[in-house]
């Protein structure tokens, strides 16, 4: 009964994490098929894929060892004191032989070399996914900034038109007329600047991901994070390709140290030979064995390999702590950015409503131009701050999702 209760409690604790661990495709990002296709064609991923193919050949080379058969033939002419000569020859074939489990160690080294390259390919995909999410959101934000600038231009031109009408009627001073025209010109400048920023954002996106479909979407609203910091940390550490690369590198360093230790016992060279001597009256068949004598070189090679294990183990611990810190910072950024966006959104809505009321009142002859321009500037600033806060919150959340391998089907990488 007690074991059944513990099992049930375990499922209760684990099930929410499993449900939350399903892949996520935000509505404002490209769909999984397009994103994965773009990621596969990203230059660093292409490079890592070629490196994996090269590592496959390297792994098989290591497993095969550099030892090869060698063939030799000697010829000699013997002259006898009693007279006459004898043409003699010796032919041999020989090859070093790995002993002491070295062949198995080499096979392990070859397999580890390929696993490292596979982990590096996964890491390249991970970094490309982060870049794609950031560049895509930057592009959508630039589009929205241009839309906001065009909307503000419409308000500015409406104000300038109203001021011009009242100027003809003699109700507005030349100072107010010039101020309205200057405000409209500034609004047009902001539109031009926003269009230039949109073009640059699109160029950056196309330059790195030319195959992704350029279909603009509306920026979504930031949402609460589904896990607490400890759950994010556990998930990201478990799926970290950077750690996997170093873990496999540690295995390779350990195998290299084992190989160097085994190499303290030199490998013998074994061969067979045949010879013809004494005017072809003697036929000789035999075997040969030669063993190099190990010394300082082999001992120091082993000591170096053992120290490299310590170096790689320390690097693994350093990376683990670095990822933990980065995850904590990313979690804090995502959580606080969401709060800042909510405050900025409230401020933007109030400023927009004030600007609308001011525009309406001025059109009816109420209020002064300077108050209207002030309200409009406050609305422009609030809209820009709200957009920046939205982008910051979205990027922070998407980075966590990518790092946790929960975006675009990267969960199984």
CA–CA gap between residue 85 and residue 41 (Å, rounded): 74
Give the pLDDT of the chain (413 residues) as one tens digit per residue: 444 444 444 444 444 444 445 667 789 999 999 999 999 999 999 999 999 999 999 999 999 988 999 999 988 888 776 767 888 889 999 999 999 999 999 999 999 999 999 999 999 999 999 999 999 999 999 999 999 999 999 888 888 887 888 788 777 788 888 888 998 999 999 999 999 999 999 999 999 999 888 788 899 999 999 899 999 999 999 999 999 999 999 999 999 999 999 999 999 999 999 998 876 778 889 999 999 988 899 999 999 999 999 999 999 999 999 999 999 999 999 999 999 999 999 999 999 899 888 878 876 767 778 888 888 889 999 999 999 999 999 999 999 999 999 998 775 44
Nearest to 273 by CA among 97, 72, 91: 91
Nearest to 273 by CA among 94, 95, 96, 97: 94
Q: Has domain 24-68+103-265+297-412 been given CATH number 3.40.190.10?
A: no
Please, what's the b/e burial string for 97-116 (b: 16 or more CB within 10 A of its CB; e: otherwise)?
ebeeebeebbbbbbbbbbbb
pLDDT for position 84: 75
pLDDT for position 249: 97
**What are the tens digits of pLDDT across the range 137-154?**
999 999 999 999 999 998
**What are the tens digits of pLDDT across the range 250-273?**
999 999 999 999 999 999 999 999
Start-end of H helices in 21-101: 32-40, 43-64
pLDDT for position 391: 97
Counting beta carbons within 10 angstroms of the beta carbon of residue 268, is it exposed (0 to 12), middle (13 to 18) or buried (19 or more)? middle
pLDDT for position 16: 46
**What are the tens digits of pLDDT across the range 297-341?**
999 999 999 999 999 999 999 999 999 999 999 999 999 999 999
pTM: 0.85
pLDDT for position 411: 55
pLDDT for position 173: 83
Output the six-digit token pair for 265.
């016992």
pLDDT for position 81: 66
CA–CA gap between residue 127 and residue 242 (Å, rounded): 10
pLDDT for position 87: 82
Give 1-8's long-range contacts (Cβ < 8 A, gap of 24+): none
Q: What residues are paired with 151 via a beta bridge?
A: none
């Amino acid at each position: 009964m007690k074991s059944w209760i513990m099992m049930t409690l375990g499922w209760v604790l684990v099930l929410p994490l499993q449900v939350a661990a399903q892949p996520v495709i935000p509505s404002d990002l490209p769909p999984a098929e397009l994103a994965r296709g773009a990621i596969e064609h990203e230059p660093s991923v292409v490079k890592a894929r070629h490196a994996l193919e090269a590592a496959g050949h390297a792994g098989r080379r290591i497993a095969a060892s550099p030892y090869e058969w060698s063939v030799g033939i000697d010829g000699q002419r013997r002259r006898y004191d009693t007279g006459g000569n004898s043409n003699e020859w010796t032919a041999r074939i020989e090859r070093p032989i790995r002993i002491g489990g070295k062949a198995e160690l080499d096979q392990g080294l070859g397999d580890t070399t390929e696993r490292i390259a596979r982990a590096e390919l996964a890491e390249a995909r991970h970094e490309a996914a982060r870049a794609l999410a950031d560049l895509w959101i930057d592009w959508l934000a630039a589009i929205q900034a241009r839309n906001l600038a065009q909307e503000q231009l419409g308000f500015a031109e409406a104000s300038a038109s109203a001021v011009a009408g009242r100027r003809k009627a003699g109700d507005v001073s030349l100072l107010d007329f010039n101020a309205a025209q200057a405000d409209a010109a500034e609004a047009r400048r902001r539109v031009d600047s926003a269009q230039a920023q949109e073009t640059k954002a699109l160029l950056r996106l196309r330059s790195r991901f030319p195959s992704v479909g350029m279909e603009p979407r509306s920026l979504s609203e930031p949402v609460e994070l589904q896990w607490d910091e400890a759950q994010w940390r556990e998930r990201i550490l478990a799926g970290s390709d950077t750690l996997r690369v170093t873990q496999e590198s540690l295995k390779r360093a350990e195998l290299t140290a084992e190989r160097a230790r085994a190499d303290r016992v030199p490998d013998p060279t074994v061969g067979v030979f045949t010879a013809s001597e004494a005017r072809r009256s003697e036929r000789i068949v035999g075997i040969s064995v030669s063993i190099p004598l190990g010394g300082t070189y082999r001992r120091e090679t082993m000591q170096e390999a053992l120290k490299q294990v310590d170096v790689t183990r320390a690097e693994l611990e350093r990376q683990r702590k670095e990822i933990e810190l980065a995850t904590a910072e990313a979690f804090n950024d995502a959580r606080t950015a969401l709060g800042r966006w909510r405050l900025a959104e409230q401020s933007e809505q109030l400023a927009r409503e004030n600007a609308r009321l001011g525009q309406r009142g001025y059109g009816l002859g109420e209020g002064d131009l300077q108050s209207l321009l002030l309200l409009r500037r406050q609305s422009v600033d609030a809209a820009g701050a709200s957009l920046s806060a939205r982008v910051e919150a979205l990027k922070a959340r998407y980075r966590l999702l990518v790092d946790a391998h929960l975006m675009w089907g990267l969960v199984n990488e």
